[in-house]
Amino acid sequence: MIIYIHGFGSSGFGGKASLFREYFEDEVITPSLSYVPNLAIDTLEQIIEAFLNKDEKVALVGSSLGGFYSIYLANKYNLKAVLINPAVYPYKTLDKIGMAMNYYDGSSFEVTKEHIDSLKAIEVTQIENQENFLTLLQTEDEVLDYSEAADKLNESELIIEEGGNHSFENIESYFRKIGSFLGV
C-alpha cells in the first residue's frame, strides 16, 4: 500500500493526491492530516502499523512537508519512500508563518512554537538507508531551496529537473518510475 502524504496546508483531496489516486487506484491512500505535526505523525504511524500488522507492504510518497514526515517514517519503519520537493528543514520555513491557510477548504490556523518544536523533535539528522529513497526535485521551487534537499539526500536516487515549481509540474510523467521504485 502506498500512503501519499500531502504537504503543509493541503489535504488528501489536493491536486497531486487526486492524480495519485487516479493512477494508482486501490494501491494508494491519501489521508487528510492535521496541521498539528504530532497529530499528523500519530495518524500516519497508526495507518502504517495497521498495514504492517496485516503483513502488507507499505511505501510512502511525501510532498513538501509530507516529504519531511516521510523521511522520519521511512527511517523508523525501514520503508521505501518517494520524496517530491521535500521540506528538509520545515521548522525554518514555517517559523516565519504564524497564521496560515488550508488550501482545500480555505480555513485558517496558527502555526505555534509547539508545532515548530515538534518538527525539530522528529528531524532525522542522519538518514539511514538512502537507497530506500527516490527524491524528485525541481529547481524553480518557489517555496523551498531544492539544493538543501539535494545535499541532505545526496545518496538517494536523485532526480533534479530544471524549471518547474513547488507543486512539481507534470508529476504524472514519473508515475511509472514511482511505481517501479516502490514495487507496485
Which CATH number characterizes residue 84's domain?
A: 3.40.50.1820
Per-residue pLDDT at 27? 97
Residue 7: domain span: 2-182
Query: Is residue 156 predicted with pLDDT exceeding 90?
Result: yes
Distance CA 61, CA 58 (A): 10
6, HSE (Cβ side, Cα atoms, 13 Å): 24
Per-residue pLDDT at 70? 98
Q: How many separate domains does the chain show?
A: 1
Reading the block at residue 13, the C-alpha cell is: 483531496
How does pLDDT run across 26-37, given as a tens digit for each residue?
999 999 999 999
Per-residue pLDDT at 44? 98
Q: Which residue has the cell 508545532?
A: 115
Q: Could you tell me if 12 and 18 are in contact, meaning their C-beta atoms sit under 8 angstroms apart?
A: no
Per-residue pLDDT at 104? 76
Query: Is residue 128 predicted with pLDDT exceeding 90?
Result: no
Question: What mean pLDDT value characterizes the chain?
Answer: 94
Mean pLDDT over residues 61-88, rounded? 98
